[in-house]
């Protein structure tokens, strides 16, 4: 992976999806189809939906119920108030007959709609909700560190916070299963260069760029994961991989049953995403929508032409008012932000990280993903989308 190498030749578009030669780590096979398409095809065969998926989910549910016997909860479900996590919670409770504990992490950017949705869905399902709120000065500073680092992804706070909240709650409550709702069919696999996190990388960004002390921030390091996985025997299951309940009828069900309200855009239960998307487009020239829209093209929800037409539309995050609002909340001046947009682009590979170590243990990592101990698509993301 050589991220410094700017694409010299003209943009080459994948024969099938919307990924092109400017995407880091993209490769094309003899038929002109990109490796992201091939990853998705492989995942399709590994994770069947329909009747086969249903049978697998029944087995998973039986296993989770067995592990939860005699305890107040069977599993932890990560929730944001968005469509996918709300539906995942409903599915766990009503279809899989599990006793979930909903866990939510708030880095200070929850929209009011997200908060309302969370309360409504959890009340409607009679599920306990455990919310972990990050100390706001710490959250703001950590996000500012990632912006000052000139790397593509600036919402590390949320990614670390969610993983930490889910595992720490599961460990504390003696729960062995964490259910997630990332759908490779709808959300795709993000190029690793665009979205990377690990504890060493986070520490290095804080060391170099923090201007205030982070007093309450808890990093999530490899030894924590080893403790949770090997000692507490916690597994992560992405149940969304086995069902194909997507699209408007899911939203309609959530609206009718719980009074759930659509935020209008995916990920907009977290308002910082306006800035995340705007920053990437203006600094790195990439548009986050390409990942999801490409996944939808591969899954047949959109044609390639429809996907390209959607990409040509002005994105919702081209909203200067919202950018100013986010920057004001972050305590960062527009001048500093604009200077960062103009500064040389950097990637996680420009900072110390555990990635070389992960590469050495990639087979171990693969086994953990295949055994549903780590999220199933994590291996593809860390070693195939580069």
What does the binding site for Zn ion look like in residue numbers (CB under 5 A)? Answer: 14, 16-17, 19, 34, 37
Could you tell me the smallest distance in angstroms from the CB atom of residue 309 to Zn ion? 17
Could you tell me the smallest distance in angstroms from the CB atom of residue 18 to Zn ion? 7
**Measured from the CB atom, is 39 or 236 closer to Zn ion?**
39
Rounded CA separation 58/37 (Å): 29
**Measured from the CB atom, is 16 or 381 closer to Zn ion?**
16
Could you tell me the smallest distance in angstroms from the CB atom of residue 50 to Zn ion? 24
Rounded CA separation 44/189 (Å): 13
3-state SS, residue 372:
coil
Could you tell me the smallest distance in angstroms from the CB atom of residue 33 to Zn ion? 6
**Measured from the CB atom, is 309 or 371 closer to Zn ion?**
309
Could you tell me the smallest distance in angstroms from the CB atom of residue 20 to Zn ion? 9
C-beta of residue 125 within 8 angstroms of C-beta of residue 88: no
Rounded CA separation 218/162 (Å): 12
Rounded CA separation 293/187 (Å): 8
Query: Pairing between strand 100-106 and 235-238?
Result: unpaired
C-beta of residue 274 within 8 angstroms of C-beta of residue 326: yes
Produce one character per residue of 213-223: b if its CB has 16 or more CB atoms within 10 Å, e if not: ebeebeebeee
**Measured from the CB atom, is 253 or 311 closer to Zn ion?**
311
**Measured from the CB atom, is 170 or 385 closer to Zn ion?**
385
Closest listed residue to residue 353, CA positions, set 190, 207, 182: 207
**Measured from the CB atom, is 19 or 175 closer to Zn ion?**
19
Could you tell me the smallest distance in angstroms from the CB atom of residue 104 to Zn ion? 34
Give Cα 99 to chain centroid, integer Å. Answer: 24
């Amino acid at each position: 992976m050589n991220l410094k190498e700017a694409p010299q030749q003209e943009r080459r578009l994948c024969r099938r999806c919307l990924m092109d030669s400017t995407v880091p780590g993209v490769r094309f096979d003899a038929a002109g189809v990109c490796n992201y398409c091939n990853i998705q095809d492989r995942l399709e065969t590994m994770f069947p939906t329909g009747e086969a998926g249903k049978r697998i989910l029944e087995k998973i549910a039986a296993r989770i119920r067995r592990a939860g016997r005699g305890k107040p909860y069977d599993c932890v479900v990560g929730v944001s108030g968005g469509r996918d996590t709300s539906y995942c919670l409903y599915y766990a409770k009503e279809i899989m007959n599990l006793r979930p504990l909903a866990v939510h992490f708030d880095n200070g950017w929850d929209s009011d709609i997200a908060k309302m949705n969370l309360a409504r869905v959890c009340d409607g399902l009679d599920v306990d909700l455990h919310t972990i709120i990050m100390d706001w000065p710490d959250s703001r500073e950590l996000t500012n560190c990632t912006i000052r680092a000139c790397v593509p992804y600036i919402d590390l706070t949320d990614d670390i916070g969610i993983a930490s909240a889910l595992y720490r709650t599961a460990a504390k409550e003696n729960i062995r299963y964490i259910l997630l709702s990332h759908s490779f069919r709808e959300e795709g696999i993000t190029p690793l260069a665009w979205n990377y996190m690990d504890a060493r990388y986070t520490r290095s960004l804080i060391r170099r760029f923090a201007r205030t002390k982070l007093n309450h921030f808890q990093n999530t390091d490899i030894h924590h994961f080893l403790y949770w996985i090997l000692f507490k025997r916690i597994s992560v299951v992405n149940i969304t991989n086995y069902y194909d309940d997507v699209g408007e009828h899911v939203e309609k069900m959530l609206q009718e049953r719980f009074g759930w309200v659509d935020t209008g855009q995916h990920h907009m239960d977290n308002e910082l995403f306006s800035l995340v998307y705007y920053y990437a487009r203006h600094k790195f020239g990439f548009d986050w929508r390409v990942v999801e829209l490409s996944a939808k093209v591969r899954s047949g929800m959109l044609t390639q032409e429809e996907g390209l037409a959607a990409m040509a539309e002005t994105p919702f995050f081209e909203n200067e008012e919202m950018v100013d609002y986010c920057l004001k909340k972050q305590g960062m001046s527009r001048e500093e932000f604009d200077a960062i947009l103009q500064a040389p682009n950097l990637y996680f590979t420009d900072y110390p990280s555990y990635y070389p170590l992960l590469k050495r243990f990639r087979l171990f990592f693969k086994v953990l993903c295949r055994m549903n101990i780590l999220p199933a698509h994590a291996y593809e993301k860390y070693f195939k989308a580069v």
